[in-house]
Amino acid sequence: MRRLGLLGLTAAVSSFALAGCNQESAPDRVAIDPWWDTIIAPTSDIPVLTVADSSQITNGRLLAPTPDYDNDPHFRYDGCHAVLSDSDGIFAAPPELVAPEIITDAEDIEMVFRSGRGGTEVLGARVVVDGKLSHVRLRRFDAEDGKDYYFRHHFTTARVRHLKFEVDGVNRFKHAVVGPFSVLQRPVGAHRFRHTAIGDSLQKGGANHHIGSERSGDFFYMYWEAHSRFQAALMGCDSYINLGVGGTGWTDVDADNPFSARISTALAGSPHVLGFYGSRNDESNQDHLASAVVATLRQAETAPVILASGPQQAGYSNLHHTIEQKVSAAGRTWIDLDGVAGAPSSNPTGHPTFEEQLALARSAYSQTDMDQIAASVAATNTSRLAGSAVQVGVIDSFNRSDGAVGASENGREWNTTTFPGWVIQDQQLANPTAESQVFCDVDTGIGYGSYEFTLGGDYHADFRLCFFYVNSGFHMFVNSNGGSDNWRLYSRAGNNSVAVATGSTGGGWTAGDIIGIVATRGSTFTKANIVVRKNGEDILNAGDADLGPLISGGTRLAVGVNAESRIGRLDAVTMTPEA
């Protein structure tokens, strides 16, 4: 079991409130200890955030979101399992929140939200860049209730980034405004590591429902600052849904909304980890606590991983004992958070401070077996793909009549529309009329796995074998520059190719060669281990390569060239998903 010792925490806190416009003084990282250093974005990826009541981007492109959760053309949504819309914009059914995601290389992007409350420092915002938080504590901004605000994110460099916007205190996502860009698209596919948290007011942001009357010594924290959010970041999750509701518990202390009432919503979001955290509210209903825990866990039994704790504050050891017994008996993971935060009387709001939320997160993380969870997540993803309408993997020997390419042997349709000219010729896949860049691609349903390409015929020097493919300007590829150079693994984003790893001298393409690519999951969800083999011999090895948004973008494989004439030919291709 992976357990980490607790370290002291220091957090430099800054808030920014300027008349007419709220702006950060600089894109600082916040003073943090090594615990949080692993989840914070590099300085070059932390934007300057400015909030105003009108657009700050000249001649920007407006992107209007749709309520199509699975197929919006620009945005993927996190923080919720479904979205709704009205004349004011996109929203989620409470207590869920909407966190839009997009992949772009724009230096400037504004996300426009409508405020759901007014006052001093009532809005909070951070951006997640390629899975890393821009800040631990949300940046605070003033607001008027019901007013639209433009959250401008200015990056000092232009590169392709996967961005997710976590904003608290708003109730509608209106639209986005984007400056000059080359890449602008929705992350492809579903989230691969979702943590959904069910709990009481400590999950909903504790004191944020006391705005205007009560504040802790370091002011209230928010939904996106609950300990389960930071716990999810430490675990490497790429998705987080907060289903905290104040005044609730395992029992029916709130008859309309016990923890069990939110299980159907949680499961509808296909979580990989489902957490139950709390609750001190059960103290008034202890006689029914044991049976409520048993019934709740039984109702959630289809969740792949369940983490459960008792109250996170001191003074409730009696509740902890009861909950722990039933969680352990059910074979689920018990997280002991007894007394990690001070008693309710230790704080004017009755809730943990921000620093205590961080302490709760790292205590919970230190008690989780991440190797076991990672194995469960991988198995769950493979099972969900296998059980879906999308058939996973590809196998095709092209042993069919000359003419249209059509579908693979296992029913996957090859895309010959984007780049015409691809045909079956002499039982090979070929493009004999290519006059420029051409690719032929097919959806494998998942990017991780083993690829094998059997080559046939002559090849252009720039013949490419592509995986994690989204389109011609966004994919990974392997080639050797016609044998005049070493084998190289490239990432291509926004039509810019960057060498990720260099292998042995290639020797070029030869008919009959079998080129293998094995892509397995790395240490985080943006990283992969990639091995390239030629005729069974390793020619390139990229261990734990950080591929950023490419991994979340592509579930296709493709072959082709980036120049005209003499297109390569394939005798066979297979892709077997990672077990």
pLDDT of residue 434: 76
- Residue carrying structure tokens 């987080």: 240
The number of distinct structural domains making up the chain is 3
**C-alpha distance from residue 54 to each of 113, 118, 493 (Å):** 11, 17, 31
**Do residues 56 and 182 both lie within one domain?**
yes
Both tokens of 215, joined, read 């504040």
Burial profile 469-507: b = 16 or more Cβ within 10 angstroms, e = fewer: bbbbebbbbbbbeeeeeebbbbbbbbeebeebbebeebe
- Sorted by sequence, the CB contacts under 8 Å of residue 287 that are 6+ apart come out as none
Most confident of 205-219, 326-340, 511-525: 326-340
- At 432-465, the pLDDT tens digits run 877 778 899 998 877 888 898 888 876 666 788 8
Query: pLDDT-based confidence at 389, cuts 50/70/90?
Result: very low
**Do residues 446 and 532 both lie within one domain?**
yes
Assigned domain for 338 exists: yes
**Do residues 410 and 503 both lie within one domain?**
yes
Q: Indicate which CATH number applies to the domain containing 128.
A: 2.60.120.260
**Do residues 196 and 176 both lie within one domain?**
no
Assigned domain for 358 exists: yes
**Do residues 31 and 98 both lie within one domain?**
yes
26 pLDDT above the threshold of 50: no
Query: pLDDT-based confidence at 11, cuts 50/70/90?
Result: very low
In single-letter form, the type of residue at position 94 comes to: P
Find the domain containing 564 and state its range.
394-577
Assigned domain for 8 exists: no
**Do residues 465 and 477 both lie within one domain?**
yes
148 pLDDT above the threshold of 50: yes
**Do residues 381 and 418 both lie within one domain?**
no
**Do residues 91 and 136 both lie within one domain?**
yes
Assigned domain for 284 exists: yes
| Among 200-209, 222-231, 234-243, 514-523, the least confident range | 200-209
Give the residue from 139, 156, 189 where a domain finishes: 189
Query: pLDDT-based confidence at 386, cuts 50/70/90?
Result: low
Higher pLDDT, 392 or 489: 489
Higher pLDDT, 91 or 533: 91
Q: Is the distance from CB of 51 to CB of 80 less than 8 angstroms?
A: no
Rounded to the nearest integer, the mean pLDDT of the chain is 84
Percent of the chain with pLDDT over 70: 85
pLDDT of residue 550: 57
Cα dihedral across residues 357, 362, 363, 364: positive or negative:
positive
Percent of the chain with pLDDT over 90: 46
- At 302-314, the pLDDT tens digits run 999 999 999 999 9
Q: Indicate which CATH number applies to the domain containing 441.
A: 2.60.120.560
Assigned domain for 11 exists: no
**Do residues 178 and 198 both lie within one domain?**
no
Q: Is the distance from CB of 437 to CB of 562 less than 8 angstroms?
A: yes
What secondary structure does DSSP assign to 13-29, as a single string? ------TT-EE-SS---
pLDDT of residue 379: 83
pLDDT of residue 525: 66
Higher pLDDT, 261 or 352: 261
Higher pLDDT, 133 or 221: 133
554 pLDDT above the threshold of 80: no
Assigned domain for 9 exists: no
Give the residue from 388, 403, 429 where a domain finishes: 388
Average pLDDT over residues 199-219: 58
- At 246-293, the pLDDT tens digits run 899 999 999 999 999 999 999 999 999 999 999 999 999 999 999 999
Average pLDDT over residues 388-393: 58
- Sorted by sequence, the CB contacts under 8 Å of residue 147 that are 6+ apart come out as 53, 114, 115, 118
387 pLDDT above the threshold of 60: no
Assigned domain for 301 exists: yes
Query: pLDDT-based confidence at 301, cuts 50/70/90?
Result: very high
In single-letter form, the type of residue at position 89 comes to: G
**Do residues 353 and 481 both lie within one domain?**
no
40 pLDDT above the threshold of 70: yes
Q: Indicate which CATH number applies to the domain containing 276.
A: 3.40.50.1110
**Do residues 398 and 337 both lie within one domain?**
no
- At 493-504, the pLDDT tens digits run 766 788 888 888
**Do residues 332 and 260 both lie within one domain?**
yes
Give the residue from 134, 158, 189 where a domain finishes: 189
Query: pLDDT-based confidence at 12, cuts 50/70/90?
Result: very low
Assigned domain for 45 exists: yes
In single-letter form, the type of residue at position 448 comes to: Y
Report d(CA 300, CA 316) in Å as an integer. 25
Report d(CA 307, CA 120) in Å as an integer. 36
